[in-house]
Amino acid sequence: MVRGSVGVIFGETGTFEFKVMVLDSSKVYRGAYIKVWHDASSNEKDHTWVLGQVMAIKRSSDSFSIEEAMKGQRADKSDDKIVAEIMIIGSRDENGMLRSPVIPFSPGSPIFASDEGLTRAVLGLTGNEMDIGLLEGTNIKVQLSVNSLVQKHCSILAKTGSGKSYTASVLLEELLDQNIPLLIIDPHSEYSSLKVPGEGNEEDFSRFGVVPKGYGSKITVYTPASKSLNPDADELFRLNGMNLTVKDLTSIFPDNFSTTHTGILYEAIQKVRAEMETYTIEDLIFEVGNDKSKAKWNVISVLEQIRDTGILSPNPTSIEELFQKGKASVIDFKGVTPDLQSMIVASLCTSLFEARKLNHIPPGMLVVEEAHNYAPEKGFSKTTSTDILRTIASEGRKFGLGMMVISQRPARIDKNVLSQCGTQVIMKVTNPNDLKAISKGLEGVTSYVEEELMRLPPGVAMLVSNEIERPVLVDIRIRKSKHGGESVNVLKAARTVTPPPPSAMIVENHETSRPAPVRRPMPELHPSVSEPESDMIINIPVVDIPETASGITPPPKRQPSRAPRAENGAEGGGKLFKKLFGANR
Ligand SMILES: Nc1ncnc2c1ncn2[C@@H]1O[C@H](COP(=O)(O)OP(=O)(O)OP(=O)(O)O)[C@@H](O)[C@H]1O
């Protein structure tokens, strides 16, 4: 036996695979990397170490009796035959190109456990900035390159509960350590915990060579709802409510605008623009009210829906504020309905892309959790955000705007988006459609990969990337920050006595600094529309604008077509607000 060898090649050998009689089963196990010296060629230049991987392993023994085994007396297992099937990965030539042998290996050649240098070099694990974990079964660090991950996008796919948001947060921590700007679409309030240092035993931290760390000062959580609905949020998130165009408005609830409605809106906007330098949605509602057609009531109704979401403001959250070096802005959708979420994602991502194109913001990454909801595959559903996410997926890399797509339903994400992801981190997947969707998007995926994905243990991911030669399994490192996606303990919750929820939903005043819009009297409304719903409308006095000292006459007074939502009142919000943001918050 050659010193250090862990097995010997036997039987028929090929240039892609061979079998090995295993001598040291602690080193030769399924997935292990091995090396073998290849000197079958007469050309000495081709003599080199070749990397292989154990794909399957079998054990047999004839040297015991059933009776002996039944009594549990089979202590000596040294005669067991262990045979491993090795797949050859190859070697790097002097130009760094991957080469596979062209002449089969010689039976009788010894194999050895691979060393870190050869494994790294042949697999192409050459990134050195982002530590995401260890190559499964080894102490070899798997590091990704920031440029490659951000420019070429990445996806994190797995069935629910398999560690998607955990793994995504590991990547986000690494990006934050490099001060990469992040904008995180967070439908389940999972990412604010990045602020808090992680907990866990010291051994786990030291195994991965990391220490607990919170990113408190780098994380800002924004709520598109309100601070009473989402008390953990740091800031309100608002969209621009001034001088909205037909496109801005129709993109909010596109299904609610027919061509006729769009025409009415267009005309109203033209008239208001001719009269006023700046206008609000109230002004548009008023102007549409002047229209002679019956269709105006539908337009008014949709405009009122938009107004009542409370998302529009004269003091919008700027993209420059959200996307800054060393900052992660989390858009926490707690309490926001799916329709409104898509609209916000569409609007936000459009501004992000435009600002990046104009170099108004630094290069960085957009993170979309539950991406199948914002960019669904054709035939599953339709949302307003699909187009812009597709655009960012296909063009973002030109402008240094990366996208991290996270989903538990790969089959339901738009293929154009998924196929643009240069790095895929995949955890356990069992749904056949999802497996098919994943393997369709991966080059050279064998049935081995699909089987492996079905069996992955928690915390282990398959990393597939343009940068590496073949999919590798990674033991994802422990998080530095606290994990925020813990499941709810139903039994514990049922046994805990909790005080009853507050009876009334309190909607605070989001916009105390909001200047009162200048309004003019609303023409008489159709009775069925004009009758305010008692729990929805609170009348506020019309604001009189005093004439200026210089004697210039102020613009004509506008009156709200319907009184706006209560400012600070316990009755604020009303049915529509409840419908959009949920009643129990
Ligand atoms: N690499 C890891 N190391 C340690 N624990 C992990 C790891 N990955 C996942 N876990 C554990 O698995 C659990 C589920 O992970 P996570 O919340 O990320 O799943 P998910 O796929 O995002 O679930 P969901 O679809 O419900 O959002 C977590 O509570 C976490 O403790």
Domain check: are 291 and 346 in the same one? no
Mean pLDDT confidence for 419-445: 85
DSSP state, residue 114: P
Question: Is the minimum distance from the CB of 164 to ligand 1 under 6 angstroms?
Answer: yes
Domain check: are 117 and 35 in the same one? yes
Question: Is the minimum distance from the CB of 50 to ligand 1 under 6 angstroms?
Answer: no
Task: Quote the CA–CA distance of 286 and 482 in Å, as a whole number.
Answer: 50
- pLDDT score for 182: 98
- pLDDT score for 544: 32
Domain check: are 70 and 205 in the same one? no
How far does residue 469's CA lie from ligand 1's centre (Å)?
27
Task: Quote the CA–CA distance of 409 and 351 in Å, as a whole number.
Answer: 27
Q: Which amino acid, residue 535?
A: D
Question: Is the minimum distance from the CB of 485 to ligand 1 under 6 angstroms?
Answer: yes
Q: Whose CA is nearest to atom 17 of ligand 1?
A: 485
20 forms beta bridges with 9, 84
**Over 60: is that where the pLDDT of 583 sits?**
no
**Over 60: is that where the pLDDT of 206 sits?**
yes
Domain check: are 286 and 371 in the same one? no
Domain check: are 105 and 149 in the same one? no
E strand or H helix at 10: strand 5-10
Closest CA to 576 of 564, 559, 568, 561: 564
Q: Which amino acid, residue 186?
A: D
**Over 90: is that where the pLDDT of 187 sits?**
yes
Residues 6+ apart with CB under 8 A from 420: 152, 153, 393, 394, 403
Place of tokens 């630094």: 362
**Over 50: is that where the pLDDT of 575 sits?**
no
Within a domain: 477? no
Question: Is the minimum distance from the CB of 169 to ligand 1 under 6 angstroms?
Answer: no
Q: How many domains does the chain have?
A: 3
Within a domain: 134? no
- Comparing 575 with 6, which gets the higher pLDDT? 6
SS3 state at 563: coil
- pLDDT score for 493: 63
Mean pLDDT confidence for 118-122: 93
Q: What is the CATH number of the domain that holds 331?
A: 3.40.50.300
Quote the Cα angle for 60-33-86, to 5°.
50
Token couple for 539: 């009348």
Question: Is the minimum distance from the CB of 483 to ligand 1 under 6 angstroms?
Answer: yes
Sign for the pseudo-dihedral over CA of 50, 53, 55, 59? positive
Within a domain: 289? yes
Mean pLDDT confidence for 67-94: 81
Q: Which atom of ligand 1 is nearest to the CA of 475?
A: 1
In the structure, how many helices (H) and strands (E) does the chain have? 19, 21
Q: Whose CA is nearest to atom 16 of ligand 1?
A: 163
- Comparing 553 with 28, which gets the higher pLDDT? 28
Question: Is the minimum distance from the CB of 524 to ligand 1 under 6 angstroms?
Answer: no
Task: Give the distance from CA 197 to its chain's centroid.
Answer: 21
- pLDDT score for 15: 87
Q: What is the band of 417 on the pLDDT scale with cuts at 50, 70, 90?
A: very high
Domain check: are 209 and 258 in the same one? no
- Using the 3D structure, point to which of 413, 430, 447 is the last residue of a domain: 430
- Comparing 64 with 110, which gets the higher pLDDT? 110
Q: Where are the alpha helices (DSSP H) in 276-336?
A: 281-289, 296-308, 319-322
Token couple for 215: 């990113």
Mean pLDDT confidence for 336-364: 93
- Using the 3D structure, point to which of 396, 430, 464 is the last residue of a domain: 430
Q: Kindly tell me the burial class for residue 529, based on how many C-beta atoms sit within 10 Å of its own C-beta (0-12, 13-18, 19 or more).
A: middle
Of 8-12, 65-69, 135-139, where does the model show the most confidence?
Answer: 8-12
Q: Which atom of ligand 1 is nearest to the CA of 170?
A: 1
- pLDDT score for 505: 32
- The answer to whether 383 and 376 have CB atoms below 8 angstroms apart is yes
- pLDDT score for 102: 87
Domain check: are 26 and 108 in the same one? yes
**Over 80: is that where the pLDDT of 441 sits?**
no
- pLDDT score for 565: 38
- Give the 3-state DSSP-derived string for 514-557, with helices as H, strands as E and coil as C: CCCCCCCCCCCCCHHHHCCCCCCCCCCCCCCCCCCCCCCCCCCC
Q: Which atom of ligand 1 is nearest to the CA of 166?
A: 18
Domain check: are 150 and 85 in the same one? no
Pocket of ligand 1, candidates 131, 134, 166, 431: which has the most ligand atoms within 8 Å of its Cβ, to mutate? 166
**Over 80: is that where the pLDDT of 559 sits?**
no
Within a domain: 443? no
Task: Quote the CA–CA distance of 311 and 241 in Å, as a whole number.
Answer: 8
How far does residue 407's CA lie from ligand 1's centre (Å)?
13
Q: Which atom of ligand 1 is nearest to the CA of 158?
A: 21
Q: Whose CA is nearest to atom 15 of ligand 1?
A: 163
Residues 6+ apart with CB under 8 A from 548: 554
- The answer to whether 120 and 96 have CB atoms below 8 angstroms apart is no
Report the mean per-residue pLDDT for the chain: 81
Token couple for 456: 């992955």
Within a domain: 100? yes
Range of the domain at 95: 5-123
How far does residue 356's CA lie from ligand 1's centre (Å)?
32
Within a domain: 453? no
**Over 80: is that where the pLDDT of 307 sits?**
yes
Domain check: are 294 and 335 in the same one? no
- Using the 3D structure, point to which of 92, 123, 154 is the last residue of a domain: 123
Domain check: are 107 and 12 in the same one? yes
Task: Quote the CA–CA distance of 146 and 128 in Å, as a whole number.
Answer: 9
Place of tokens 């979401």: 309
Question: Is the minimum distance from the CB of 160 to ligand 1 under 6 angstroms?
Answer: yes
Note the pLDDT tens digit of each residue in 252-293.
777 777 888 889 999 999 999 999 999 999 999 999 999 888
Domain check: are 334 and 425 in the same one? yes
Within a domain: 497? no
Mean pLDDT confidence for 54-79: 76
Q: Would you tell me how many other CB atoms lie within 10 Å of the CB of residue 32?
A: 20
What are the DSSP E strand ranges found in 237-337?
239-240, 312-313, 328-332
* CB environment 472-508: b (16+ within 10 A), e (fewer): bbbbbbbbbbbbbbeeeeeeeeeeeeeeeeeeebbbb
- Comparing 579 with 348, which gets the higher pLDDT? 348
Closest CA to 30 of 581, 342, 457, 585: 457
Mean pLDDT confidence for 207-219: 94
Pocket of ligand 1, candidates 210, 483, 486, 487: which has the most ligand atoms within 8 Å of its Cβ, to mutate? 483
Within a domain: 193? yes
**Over 50: is that where the pLDDT of 328 sits?**
yes
- pLDDT score for 445: 61
Token couple for 96: 């760094």
Mean pLDDT confidence for 317-336: 96
Domain check: are 202 and 331 in the same one? yes
